[in-house]
């Protein structure tokens, strides 16, 4: 994947497209002049009045004492260069200021040049050896030409250090942001794309050299060849330019060998590639053209976004396949035992609602409900004549039907993804007091999902028609569930269930049981 950029030079013309804009640098190198002689400060400004480096001019900040300089340094953290006199309010005021900058402010970026008119008070070798400075100049030798050279060298060093530091911070941000993007793969797509755009804008605001005051952005996806806006900054999509920008971006990502020529010079269009196919783009529009450092960082991050998007889709496909597998297995079980008439769907509703009532989070409650659908999958191994027998089962027949729990556990034991469903299938007929089947263990030692399904399964069976019985009334079923608390059922699950039942939460679910068999 590559970043597609506007390749035209930023020149204005009378017939320029409304989307184009000439970009002019707004950032200036801040230079602090610290000297108690006004004439020296004035002469410095005059000598450097036409100075420009990296297409950026100078902004002068002046201080007549070290004390005044300290206040200015606290207010301006982005000063690139300080020209510091040694002798001011004290004989070593300038040297003390250097120590303050490096040790107290912990500012290792600013370039420091000592200037002195009294070199005897601050010998050059001693100052260079004992103070973290970048140059030492005698004022008598600082002609306009030498001042130019000194300032240019200092600013170049500052710029290079900034690039290194920005790279470092940028890589740190990429490392921090990438896991966040991948974690969003388990979130709704809206959160996923908003997270992508937020992280991208955060990366673009790293560099002071880009001097970004604001930034617009959007993420568009091609959904069955139809564009769909997935995320954007607040005002951007409301602008009249948006549709034209979108058409240009679509053209660019589908034909990446054809450069964009009508977008703003600062804009960046980053294709999102999934399985080697363009599926959308990220468009960002900073006030000014991004530095190479910023551009490289968003290039790296766009690759990560594409990979995360691919993983998101794969994760969604896996979940969809898992849900399909559950539905197929549940349908097989219910097809085998058609007398239950939608039992698995109702059990899903009961289980989910009880779990929520007991403080289980939504995602886990959904998982409980899905797993409950397979509680009777083992009935595929039970003879039809037993499942559909219109009268009471014999002792031998009941022993056979009890095997549906172990059969279900065996069927679901082949994949770890079905572990919870396996536990439910195997244990939903175990009792709180240990008198259930197949293992006769106390259900308090089983997962909460199993104990919830135990209550929901029995209640639904009571209020539903079966070949061997008529539906019980809701009150009869309620009383039976309440009576079973502490012996057959987990008392806490019973309390949660009864609270929901009495509130009318299950009226529609119960109605479906009667409708399915009417």
Sorted by sequence, the CB contacts under 8 Å of residue 89 that are 6+ apart come out as 36, 65, 66, 67
Instruction: Express each pLDDT in 301-323 by its tens digit.
Output: 778 777 777 777 776 777 777 77
pLDDT at 23 over 50: no
What is the rounded distance in angstroms from the CA atom of residue 269 to the CA atom of residue 258? 13
The mean of the pLDDT values for the chain is 80
Average pLDDT over residues 249-253: 77
Would you state the structure tokens that stand for residue 491, as one six-digit string? 């008392």
Sorted by sequence, the CB contacts under 8 Å of residue 306 that are 6+ apart come out as 1, 271, 272, 273, 274
Helix (H) or strand (E) holding 307: helix 292-336
Instruction: Express each pLDDT in 492-502 by its tens digit.
Output: 999 999 999 99
Would you state the structure tokens that stand for residue 287, as one six-digit string? 């006030």
pLDDT at 219: 74
Q: Under DSSP, is residue 266 helix (H, G, I), strand (E, B) or coil?
A: coil
pLDDT at 176: 61
Question: In terms of DSSP bridges, do strands 79-85 and 111-116 run parallel, antiparallel, or are they unpaired?
Answer: parallel
| Candidates 3.30.70.580, 3.40.640.10, 3.30.110.30, 3.40.50.2300; CATH matching 29-142 | 3.40.50.2300
pLDDT at 12: 38
Would you state the structure tokens that stand for residue 515, as one six-digit string? 């409708």
Domain 4-22+166-308 is classified in which CATH homologous superfamily? GAF domain (3.30.450.40)
pLDDT at 433: 95
pLDDT at 90 over 80: yes
| DSSP label of 323 | H
For residues 509 and 349, is the Cβ–Cβ distance under 8 A?
Answer: yes
Instruction: Express each pLDDT in 408-418 by its tens digit.
Output: 999 999 888 88
**pLDDT tier, 518 (very low <50, low <70, confident <90, very high otherwise):** very low
DSSP for 121-153 reads: GS-HHHHHHHS--SEEEEGGG--HHHHHHHHHH
Residues of the chain with CATH 3.30.450.40: 4-22+166-308
DSSP for 183-204 reads: HGGGS-HHHHHHHHHHHHHHHH
Q: Under DSSP, is residue 278 helix (H, G, I), strand (E, B) or coil?
A: strand
Instruction: Express each pLDDT in 113-132 by its tens digit.
Output: 998 888 777 777 888 888 98
User: Picking from 2-6, 326-330, 384-388, which range would have the lowest pLDDT averaged per residue?
Assistant: 2-6
Helix axes 474-483, 448-463, angle to 10 degrees: 150
Average pLDDT over residues 347-365: 95
Would you state the structure tokens that stand for residue 384, as one six-digit string? 């039809």
Instruction: Express each pLDDT in 196-236 by its tens digit.
Output: 677 666 666 544 433 333 456 777 777 665 667 777 776 66
**pLDDT tier, 422 (very low <50, low <70, confident <90, very high otherwise):** very high
pLDDT at 187: 56
**pLDDT tier, 237 (very low <50, low <70, confident <90, very high otherwise):** low
What CATH class does 337-516 carry?
Answer: mainly alpha
pLDDT at 18: 37
Higher pLDDT, 17 or 362: 362
Q: Under DSSP, is residue 32 helix (H, G, I), strand (E, B) or coil?
A: strand
What is the rounded distance in angstroms from the CA atom of residue 272 to the CA atom of residue 3? 10
**pLDDT tier, 297 (very low <50, low <70, confident <90, very high otherwise):** confident
Average pLDDT over residues 86-101: 92
Q: Under DSSP, is residue 391 helix (H, G, I), strand (E, B) or coil?
A: coil
What is the rounded distance in angstroms from the CA atom of residue 440 to the CA atom of residue 430? 6
Residues of the chain with CATH 3.40.50.2300: 29-142
pLDDT at 179: 64
pLDDT at 486 over 60: yes
pLDDT at 255: 65
Catalytic amino acids?
A: 379
Task: Flag whether the pTM goes above 0.85.
Answer: no
Average pLDDT over residues 448-455: 97
Query: What percent of the chain stands above pLDDT 70?
Result: 76
pLDDT at 177 over 60: no
What is the rounded distance in angstroms from the CA atom of residue 516 to the CA atom of residue 99? 85
Average pLDDT over residues 358-375: 93
Which strands form 111-116's sheet, in the order they lie side by side?
58-63, 29-34, 79-85, 111-116, 135-138
CB atoms within 10 A of CB 265: 17
Helix axes 507-516, 343-357, angle to 10 degrees: 170
**pLDDT tier, 11 (very low <50, low <70, confident <90, very high otherwise):** very low
Instruction: Express each pLDDT in 52-69 by its tens digit.
Output: 998 889 999 999 999 999
Residues of the chain with CATH 1.10.3210.10: 337-516
pLDDT at 48 over 50: yes
């Amino acid at each position: 994947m590559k970043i597609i950029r506007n390749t035209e030079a930023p020149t204005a013309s009378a017939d320029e497209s409304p989307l184009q804009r000439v970009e002019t640098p707004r950032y200036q190198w801040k230079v602090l002049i610290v000297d108690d002689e006004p004439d020296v400060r004035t002469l410095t400004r005059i000598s450097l009045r036409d100075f420009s480096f990296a297409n950026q001019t100078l902004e002068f900040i002046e201080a007549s004492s070290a004390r005044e300089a300290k206040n200015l340094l606290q207010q301006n953290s982005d000063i690139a260069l300080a020209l510091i006199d040694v002798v001011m309010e004290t004989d070593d005021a300038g040297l003390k200021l250097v120590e303050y900058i490096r040790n107290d402010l912990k500012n290792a970026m600013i370039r420091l040049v000592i200037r002195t008119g009294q070199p005897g008070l601050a010998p050059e070798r001693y100052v260079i050896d004992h103070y973290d400075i970048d140059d030492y100049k005698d004022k008598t030798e600082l002609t306009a030409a030498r001042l130019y050279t000194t300032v240019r060298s200092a600013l170049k060093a500052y710029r290079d250090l900034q690039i290194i530091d920005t790279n470092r911070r940028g890589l740190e941000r990429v490392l921090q942001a990438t896991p966040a993007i991948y974690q969003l793969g388990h979130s709704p797509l809206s959160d996923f794309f908003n997270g992508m755009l937020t992280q991208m804008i955060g990366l673009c605001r790293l560099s002071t050299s880009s001097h970004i005051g604001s930034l617009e952005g959007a993420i568009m996806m091609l959904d069955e060849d139809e564009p769909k806006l997935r995320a954007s900054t607040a005002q951007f999509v409301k602008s009249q330019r948006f549709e034209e920008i979108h058409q240009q971006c679509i053209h660019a990502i589908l034909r990446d060998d054809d450069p964009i020529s009508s977008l703003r010079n600062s804009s960046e269009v980053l294709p999102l590639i999934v399985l080697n196919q363009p599926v959308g783009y990220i468009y960002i529009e900073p006030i000014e053209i991004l530095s190479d450092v910023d551009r490289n960082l968003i290039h790296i991050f766009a690759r990560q976004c594409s990979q995360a998007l691919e993983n998101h889709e794969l994760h969604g496909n896996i979940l969809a396949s898992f849900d399909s597998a559950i539905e197929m297995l549940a349908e097989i079980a219910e097809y085998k035992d058609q007398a239950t008439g939608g039992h698995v769907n109702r059990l899903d509703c009961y289980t989910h609602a009880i779990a929520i009532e007991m403080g289980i989070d939504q995602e886990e409650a959904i998982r409980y409900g899905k797993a409950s659908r397979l509680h009777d999958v083992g009935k595929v191994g039970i003879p039809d004549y037993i499942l559909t027998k219109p009268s009471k089962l014999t002792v031998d027949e009941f022993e056979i039907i009890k095997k549906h729990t172990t059969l279900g556990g065996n069927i679901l034991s082949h994949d770890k993804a079905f572990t919870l469903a396996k536990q439910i299938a195997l244990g939903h007929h175990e009792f709180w007091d240990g008198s259930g089947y197949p293992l006769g263990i106390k259900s308090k030692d089983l997962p909460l999902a199993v104990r919830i399904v135990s209550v929901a399964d029995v209640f639904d069976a009571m209020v539903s028609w079966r070949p061997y019985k008529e539906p019980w009334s809701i009150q009869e079923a309620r009383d039976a569930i309440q009576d079973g608390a502490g012996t057959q059922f987990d008392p806490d699950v019973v309390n949660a269930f009864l609270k929901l039942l009495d509130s009318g939460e299950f009226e529609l679910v119960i109605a479906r049981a009667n409708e399915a068999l009417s």
